[in-house]
Amino acid sequence: MQSLTVCEAPAPAADGTVPGSTGAARQRTLANPISCTGIGLHSGMKVRLSLLPAPAGHGIAFRRSDLPGAPVIPALYDRVVDTRLSTVLGDATDPAIRVATVEHVMAALSGNGIDNALLDIDGPEMPILDGSAAEFDFLICCAGRVEQDAPRRRIEILRPVRVEGEDGAFAELRPAKHGMLLAFSIDFAATAIGRQAHVMPLTEQRFRHEVANCRTFVERRDIEALKKMGLARGGSLENAIVVEEDRILNPGGLRRSGEFVRHKMMDAIGDLYLAGHRLQARFIGHKSGHCLNNRLLRAVLADSANWRLSASHTPASVLRVAA
Ligand SMILES: [Zn+2]
């Protein structure tokens, strides 16, 4: 028998621990299919996306319904084929089989604790929608969720692993007693962005209220180069913050303070969900992006001494309604 979970969960303590944890949590999928249409940020192509329920043990996967045979690409870190400006999943043997800009919907799936779903897409890139994860979060809430008759697993990090990039950038995972705690910082020369930091345990409510509606951003001076590279064709002030030194060019300004670092944290939540399960870990990122996030997962998961699959526990106070 399946049961429905309500869209509320208790806030964890500052160290990310969840009070009142009891028995093993069960996997979740969507209660109903749900669809949307939109354009790809980089391709500019109009696409239709359907989020579909999937059986226990399925995980998250993308299906290119427009291609012959409707190939399925698992949402896994070792299927990442490009991280220049978005995270792109693909098939290394066939460059036509790819799905770009998966990080925002992956973040929304992680934030909502969806373990199993099939994402059917009729083009090469996810719709950018408003440039944040808020509309994916809304779709998942509208679809509803069901618990499944299988225990949920987490990837528990057993020892610190760190990868480093240029100009002091790094991404690191450390062991944690429960759940996931994220700390992210950025440092941009553009004074409209500057130095920002955000710390947050990954719970559904904190995800929804602190990072989900924070939009992607670009510096105006980079737009021309991106378009020459064939990227950002679908970009506009409707789906990205555009910055020029100390100015925000969007007429409405920012949605909240720290929107830039919060967006980068949301990206990291999505990228890290490509581990195949949610993590039990502390994540620390400084000027990290899709490339470093993926390098971190590859470094961690390459050595079985770094991690193990553990049972996930459900908070006692999460309400359940029998279906
Ligand atoms: Zn992003």
The domain that contains 69 carries what CATH number? 3.30.1700.10
Of the chain, the percentage scoring pLDDT greater than 70 comes to 89
290 tagged catalytic: yes
Distance 287 CA to ligand 1 centre (A): 13
Site of tokens 């610190």: 160
Query: pLDDT tens digit string along 253-305?
Result: 999 999 999 999 999 999 999 999 999 999 999 999 999 999 999 999 999 99
58 is in an annotated binding site: no
267 annotated as ligand-binding? yes
Predicted pLDDT of residue 313: 64
3-class DSSP state of 301: helix
Determine which one of 42, 178, 286, 290 is catalytic. 290
DSSP string over 186-221: EE-SSTTT-EEEEEEE--HHHIIIIITTPPPEEEHH
Strand 3-5 to 320-322 pairing: antiparallel
- CA 290 – ligand 1 centroid, Å: 9
Structural domain range at position 78: 3-322
DSSP letter for each residue of 63-94:
EETTSTT--EEE--GGGEEE-SSS-EEEETTE
pLDDT tens-digit readout, 92-119: 899 999 999 999 999 999 999 999 999 9
**How many structural domains comprise the chain?**
1
Phi, psi of 221 (to 5 degrees): -65, -20
Q: Does residue 5 have a pLDDT over 60?
A: no
Q: What is the pLDDT of residue 233?
A: 87
Is the distance from CB of 293 to CB of 182 less than 8 angstroms?
A: no
pLDDT of residue 312: 77
Q: How many CB atoms lie within 10 A of CB 72?
A: 15
Give the model confidence (pLDDT) of 211-254 as tens digits: 999 999 999 999 888 888 888 888 889 999 999 999 999 999 99
Q: What is the mean pLDDT of residues 302-320?
A: 72
Distance 132 CA to ligand 1 centre (A): 7
At 17, the pLDDT band (50, 70, 90 cuts) reads very low
The CA 274 to ligand 1 mean position distance, Å, reads: 15
Model pLDDT, residue 6: 36
